[in-house]
Amino acid sequence: MTAQDMRTEATAGDGRPAHDAQLVRDVESIGAAAVAWLSAHRSEFALDDEALDEHGSVNRTWKPLGELAQVCVSVRRYTEPTDPLHRTAGELLDFTWQQTGHGALFLELQRLEPFATYPLEIYAAFASAGLRHAGYERALAATARTRSWQMTEQQPNRRLGILNSERRSGIPQHDETERALRRTWLGALPEPWTFERDAGYTLTHVIFHLSDWGLAPQGVPQDVVEYLRQWLPPWLDTCLEHERWDLGCELLAVAGILPGPPDGVLLRESWAEINRAQDASGALPEVGTGREGHPLADDFFACYHSTLMAAYAAVLTAHQLGRSAGHGAQTGDRRAFAHTAPRVAPNAAPQAVRPGHSGKGASR
């Protein structure tokens, strides 16, 4: 598969974007290569002693693990159980759940940082896949009833994510989704020329949270859908022109979530650029050489997130193209396959599940 092959125009005889089986295969190939890289580097997602250290970096411990879990949940939802990609994603999801001591580490985090929201945001991905820890949920429910939790000052898009995480975890939402949405940059339907990098990342996550990571595209209000239909293509084109692959993949994921027929030409041209940037191992750098002269980076923290987003966007795109041709789930039900039955873990002894090779996490 070459970038030139993927750029071949695909339109129906009446000029409408056509379902293109080759495009689906090409996108699936990119996604499979990304998942293969993630699987080969799973040990780099493992938690270590820093995960419970008072001065540890959440962005280098819990964040990558939680993002891997969420992408694996999504990959499993949009692939057949007989697909090797589905099986690999399932193995990686099991790995991430094991890293949390089957949920017991969330209870430990709740004890150490009762009003931190990141444990819930990570836990919600597991809960949505039926992986639950009853003790953590009881402790969190008590905290979530406090005024301190409900009135914590947060960025609007972050609050939207917490509301969705509460819903996914069975915790009563402490605010209204619509009100939270209209406080975000995207919810205001801003002047399109004000788009820049940070706005791009906030808008993609607003859509992820509103749609429950693609499961419920009907959760995106119609005025927001129409706004993105008009302005997402030039924003995506700008990101790819500047070789911002990470943000480009997030925007492609948004394109795969929005209801309505896909833009076949836009997808073909955009995925051709992603194909060009992805290396033979399946890794995708966050940024390329581009106009700003950023060198390609191949270390884990410079490419893990963009590789995750390539896998996520690929399964959404392939599913959307298949659905538009009448082979997938109907609009409003993006789940191709049902979840497994919930598995609720009992309380576990914290000392038995601390991360790190020594089995002992540093106390806070």
Average pLDDT over residues 328-348: 36
91-95, 212-216, 298-302: which has the minimum mean pLDDT?
A: 298-302
The pLDDT, as a whole number, for residue 157 is 94
Q: Is the pLDDT of residue 130 over 60?
A: yes
The pLDDT, as a whole number, for residue 290 is 46
Unique residue bearing structure tokens 């993630």: 38
State the average pLDDT for the chain.
85
Considering Cα of 59, then 94, then 202, then 165, what sign does the dihedral take?
A: negative
**At the top level of CATH, which class does the domain 21-352 belong to?**
mainly alpha
Average pLDDT over residues 186-197: 97
Distance (Å) of CA 340 to CA 77, 124, 213, 274, 319: 11, 16, 18, 33, 20
Q: Which two tokens stand for residue 218?
A: 């009907």
Closest of 256, 271, 175 to residue 211, by C-alpha: 256
The pLDDT, as a whole number, for residue 143 is 96
The pLDDT, as a whole number, for residue 270 is 97
Query: How many angstroms separate the CA atoms of 66 and 70, rounded?
Result: 6
pLDDT digits (tens, 9 = 90+) for 144-158: 999 999 998 889 999
Highest-confidence segment of 119-133, 289-303, 321-335: 119-133
- The domain spans of the chain are 21-352
Q: Is the pLDDT of residue 262 over 70?
A: yes
The pLDDT, as a whole number, for residue 322 is 84
Q: Is the pLDDT of residue 10 over 70?
A: no
The pLDDT, as a whole number, for residue 295 is 54
pLDDT digits (tens, 9 = 90+) for 245-261: 999 999 999 999 999 88
